[in-house]
A and B are shown apart, each in its own frame.
Chain A
Amino acid sequence: MLHRITTLFAEAKDLNTHRIHNREFTLEVAYIGSLVDESKVSDYILVPFTKEEQSFKTILETNPSFKKIEDPARWAGNLLRGFVLVKLENAIYMLDAARVIRNQNPIAEVESSVQGPQTALSEDLIDSMNLIRSRYPSAELKIEEGTVGTLSMTRMLLLYDQRRVDPTLLANIRNRLKEVTHEMIGAVGELEKELSSPRRALFPTMIITERPDRVARALSQGKLVLLLHGSMFALILPANFFDFMHAMEDKYESLWMTNFLIALRYLSILLTTTLPALYISVVSYNPELFRVQLAFSIAGSRSAVPYPSFIEVFLMLFLIEALIEASARLPRYVGSTATTVGGLILGQAAQQAGLVSSIMIIVTSVVAISNFVVPIASMSYAIRFLKYPLIVLSIFFGIMGVAFGLFIYIVYLCQLRSFGKPYFRFLGNITKKEGDIGQVNAR
Chain B
Amino acid sequence: MRRFCTACVAFIMLSLLMQGCGFKDIDKRFFVVAAGIDRTSNADKPYRITLRLAIPSPKAEPGASKSQLESIDTATIAEGVRLLKGHVDKEIDFGHCKVIVLGESLVQSDYVEALTWMIRRRDIQSIATVAVGKPSAEDVMNANPPSERYPGNSLFLSFGTEGTDSPFTLQMFLFDLERRYTERGLDPFLPVIKRDHMTYMISKVAFLDKQKVKLTLSNEETQMYNQLSTQFKKSSIMATYKGKPIVALLTGIHRSYRIIEQNGQAVIRMKVRLRCILEQAPRGLYNSDWRQIEKAFSDQYSTKAETMLDKIRNTGVDPFGFGLRYRAMHRGSDATWNRWVKLYPNAKFEVRTSVKIDGTGLIK
Which residues on A are within 8 Å of B, measured CB to CB?
A: 283-288, 292-293, 295-303, 305, 308-309, 358, 395-396, 398
Other A-B pairs, 16, CB within 8 Å; known A296-B57, A299-B26: A284-B23, A287-B31, A287-B93, A292-B31, A292-B33, A295-B31, A296-B54, A296-B151, A299-B56, A300-B58, A300-B59, A303-B56, A308-B23, A308-B25, A396-B15, A398-B22
Nearest CB to that of B156 among chain A residues? A292
- B31 touching A299, Cβ below 8 Å: yes
Residues B105-158 near A (CB distance < 8 A) = 123, 125, 149-153, 156
Contact of B25 among A284, A293, A295, A301 (CB under 8 A): A284
Expressed in whole angstroms, the minimum distance between the Cβ of B55 and any Cβ of chain A is 9
The 10 closest A-B pairs by CB, nearest first: A288-B95, A300-B58, A299-B56, A300-B56, A302-B27, A296-B56, A301-B58, A300-B57, A303-B27, A283-B26
The smallest beta-carbon distance between A280 and chain B, in angstroms, is 9
Q: Nearest chain-A residue to B93 (Cβ)?
A: A287
Interface centre among A299, A305, A308 (most CB of B within 10 A): A299
Provided the pairs A300-B58, A300-B59, A305-B27 are in contact, do residues A292 and B152 lie with their beta carbons within 8 angstroms?
A: yes
Annotate B28-62 by CB proximity to A: 1 below 8 A, 0 otherwise. 01010100000000000000000000101111100
User: A302-B26, A303-B27, A396-B18 given as contacts; is B60 within 8 A of A297 (CB)?
Assistant: yes
What residue in chain A is nearest B21 (Cβ atoms)? Answer: A396
CB distance from A178 to the nearest CB of B (A): 28
In whole angstroms, what is the CA distance A263 to B194 when docked? 50
- Contact assessment for B156 and A295 in the assembled complex, using a CB-CB cutoff below 8 Å: no
Shortest Cβ distance from A306 into chain B, in angstroms?
A: 10
Q: How many residues of B contact A (CB 8 A)?
A: 30
- A334 CB to closest chain B CB, in angstroms? 36
**Given A292-B150, A299-B26, are A287 and B59 also a contact pair (CB < 8 Å)?**
no
* Max chain A Cβ within 10 angstroms of own Cβ: one of B22, B58, B98, B152: B58
Q: Which residues of B contact A295 (CB under 8 A)?
A: 26, 31, 56, 95-96
A299-B22 contact, Cβ under 8 Å, with A292-B150, A292-B156: no
Do B29 and A299 touch across chains, with their CB atoms under 8 A apart?
yes
* Interchain CB contact under 8 A, B26 and A358: no
Question: Within 8 Å CB of B54, what residues of A?
Answer: 296
Task: For B95, list chain A residues within 8 Å (CB).
Answer: 286-288, 295
Query: Given the complex, which residues of B lie within 8 Å of A301, measured CB to CB?
Result: 58
Cβ of B262 < 8 Å from any Cβ of A?
Answer: no
B25 near A288 (CB under 8 angstroms)?
Answer: no
By secondary structure, the B interface counts as: loop
| Cα(A286)–Cα(B123), bound, Å | 9
Most chain A beta carbons < 10 A, residue from B26, B151, B153: B26
Q: Which residues on the B side are within 8 Å of A286 (C-beta)?
A: 95
Complexed CA–CA distance, A299 and B25 (Å): 9
Q: Is the CB of B26 within 8 A of A287?
A: yes
Q: Is B338 an interface residue (CB 8 A)?
A: no
The answer to whether A299 touches B96, judged by C-beta atoms less than 8 angstroms apart, is no
Interface residue? B24 (CB, 8 A) = yes
In the complex, the chain A residue whose C-beta lies closest to that of B54 is A296
Q: Are B56 and A285 in contact (CB-based, < 8 A)?
A: no
Contact, CB under 8 Å: B19 / A396: yes
A250 to B292 alpha-carbon distance, docked (Å): 65
Q: What's the Cα separation between A160 and B22 when bound, in Å? A: 57
Minimum Cβ distance to chain B for residue A176 (Å): 26
How far apart sit A358 and B56, CA to CA, in the bound complex (Å)? 14
The answer to whether A299 touches B60, judged by C-beta atoms less than 8 angstroms apart, is: no
Q: Tell me the bound Cα distance from A106 to B52 in angstroms.
A: 67
Given contacts A292-B152, A296-B150, A300-B58, contact A285 B27 (CB under 8 A): no
A residues near B58, Cβ cutoff 8 Å: 297, 300-301, 358
Nearest opposing residue in chain A for B125, CB measure: A288
Q: Which residues of B contact A285 (CB under 8 A)?
A: 22-24
Residues of chain B contacted by A288 (CB below 8 angstroms): 93, 95-96, 123, 125
- Give chain A nearest CB distance to B30 CB in angstroms: 9
Report A-chain residues with C-beta under 8 Å of the C-beta of B152: 292
Selected A-B contacts with CB under 8 Å, 17 pairs: A283-B25, A284-B25, A285-B23, A286-B95, A287-B95, A292-B31, A292-B98, A292-B156, A293-B60, A297-B56, A298-B26, A299-B31, A300-B58, A300-B59, A302-B26, A303-B56, A398-B23
Report the nearest A residue to B18, measured CB to CB: A396
Closest to B31 in A: A295
- In whole angstroms, how far apart are the Cα atoms of A304 and B46 in the complex? 40
Determine if A309 and B25 form an interchain contact, defined as CB atoms under 8 angstroms apart: yes
With the chains together, A284 CA to B20 CA distance in Å?
10
Residues of A within 8 A of B149 (CB): 293
Min CB–CB distance A200 → chain B (angstroms): 12
Residues of A within 8 A of B125 (CB): 288
Instruction: Please tell me if the beta carbons of B23 and A299 are within 8 angstroms of each other in the complex.
Output: no
A363 to B156, CA, bound (A): 28
Contacts of A398 in B (CB 8 A): 22-23
A residues less than 8 Å from B57 (CB atoms): 296-297, 300
Tell me how far the C-beta of A362 lies from the nearest C-beta in chain B, rounded to whole angstroms: 14
Q: Which residues of A contact B27 (CB under 8 A)?
A: 299-300, 302-303, 305
Task: Point out the residues of chain B lying under 8 angstroms from A305, CB to CB.
Answer: 27
Query: Shortest Cβ distance from A405 into chain B, in angstroms?
Result: 15
Nearest CB on B from A281, distance (A): 9
Q: Which residues of A contact B26 (CB under 8 A)?
A: 283-284, 287, 295, 298-299, 302, 309
